[in-house]
Amino acid sequence: MALSHRPSIRLRARGRVDVFDEPDPPALPLGRRITCRVCNAPGAAQDDAVLLCDVCRADVSAARAHCQYVLEACTARADAAGQAWLDAQAAADDAALGRLRKAEAAIAAGRDTDPVFVATWQREKAAGTPLGALLAAYEVYTTKMRLTATQRQQAARGLAELEQMEER
């Protein structure tokens, strides 16, 4: 049986294409690099050792306002998360609260990685028990508080870098 001839597809480049053409320049020149303490953007290091990108250096008042806004927003988020956690506890019955206090004591004692503890935690949450609802609320609360703490640290580092820059 003879193979039928199928036309091939030809790709035609518009203009001359050379694989050795210069690629687009990198976003930043090679050399010492930093991560901006205010906006977390990468940047080229300056000779003054202040860890701020060019954008934040150019508008110090806006960078400071951003850090202040982040700190205020973190406070508001922490307050809201704390209130939601308190509301979840207030809505729980005494039996669930008693078991929650035992779980908190186990966490404080460092037993929260014990396989039995982890399995019980997951089982309670999956079953949708009153304790499971509290444990889920606890997870949301601690996750939000960790994120808020990270963002506060970022803003504080940004303010510290801005102060260092102004001292020079």
Most confident among 16-20, 40-44, 51-55, 93-97 (mean pLDDT): 93-97
Residue 14: the pLDDT is 53
- What average pLDDT does the structure give for the chain? 87
Residue 100: the pLDDT is 96
% pLDDT > 90, the chain: 72
Distance (Å) of CA 165 to CA 17, 50, 52, 157, 158 = 47, 6, 9, 12, 11
Residue 136: the pLDDT is 96
- Do 66 and 38 form a contact (C-beta atoms < 8 A)? yes
Section 108-127 average pLDDT: 96
Indicate the pTM of the whole model. Answer: 0.72
Q: How far is CA 153 from the centre of its chain?
A: 12
